[in-house]
Structure 1
Amino acid sequence: MAGGTEAFPDLGKHCQFSGCHQLDFLPFNCEACHKVFCLEHKSCKSHECPKPEHNSRKVIICEICSTSIEITGKEDQEKMILEKHEKSGVCDPRKKKKPTCPVRRCKETLTFSNRTVCRACGLEVCLKHRFPADHACKQGSSSAPAAAREGWNDKFLPAFNLRNGKDCGKSRGSSSSTTPSLKAY
């Protein structure tokens, strides 16, 4: 089909997608099938290109070392490329990425300056999720924080028992010989 208008016959081209044939003054050429398409049908997926793998790119992540590997071409090559990567000597499990916040949809990397441990459940989270309500806290599920609470109780309860009720709830008129009494006017 010829493009353009009566005044400018060489200006623009018609979309070659069946059923569209829209006149486009800035047409797109598909690098895979070498046809001309409008803005709406420029992607291989939208015009059902017979050769979509021609220049498609995809990135896969190695599960061992968290390295990203770019793949061009067919999807059945993924396994072969991952095996080749593992055997190359570049794949090192020690290069694994730093831990991230375990809260759902949070991708914050946990570093020494932005991590905290919940006192109730022992979960290590980022600072944004430090409050129990922000990370769906399961209180008392970890043994380490419970031990910390027991340590606190081990110090508090004996000290409380040593008081034997002294100075607790007694009348204000009586004062001990060691502490002076203060009166408010």
Structure 2
Amino acid sequence: MAEFPHLGKNCSLNACNRLDYTPFLCPSCQRYYCGDHRFSHGCSWESECGGTTSGIPSSSSTPIRPFLCAVEDCHRREIVRIECPNCKLNFCLKHRYANEHNCKYLSENGEREHREARWAEIQKKITASQTQEPSKEVTHEVKPKKVLNEVEQRRADRIAVMKLKSKIKVCDIPIDDQIFLIVLNGDERVPIMVSKGIIAALSIMSTIPAVDSGQMCGQNGQ
């Protein structure tokens, strides 16, 4: 910065003496300080102005953050007041939380709030259990079976037989010897597959009692 030898000021604090291009002019001691020591250079300006902007001259070097943090050794300021709801003191953004500035009411209030929250949760569960309606059992209504007419019954039987055929993959009965029937089991109609030889045997067996009793006759009744 040889072109501007008079630009900036050195910090008036002997232990610092740092060159600052945006120096702060203390309104009390009328000395220039760097940004780190504008509020921590041992001056009585803070106590004189009472932590407000009254008494601060209106100039370009006037700080625009009038609210000083209450934490010891912290000189940060904010443009708005950030008050702790417990101790009612003002803090900067870094120390705004109770655990950050070691609030003396932190442990007491935190424990009380935790107990109150737990009790409120218990009361809510008790109220919900008392007002909850008993669960209703789900009952499935048995629909009455539809009565089919003759045409509809034949169609239903054919569909049942077709479904049975599609399920049969391997069978000991040759295809030419297979016969599908509808068997009545009470009110239920069940499709089955049997051999034609079994049907013939059953037919012969059903004629034996008739022969023994002399009930069979020819076309002329002889």
Quickly name the TM-score band, shorter chain normalised.
0.3 to 0.5
Q: TM-score, normalised by structure 2?
A: 0.29
Greater helix share, structure number: 2
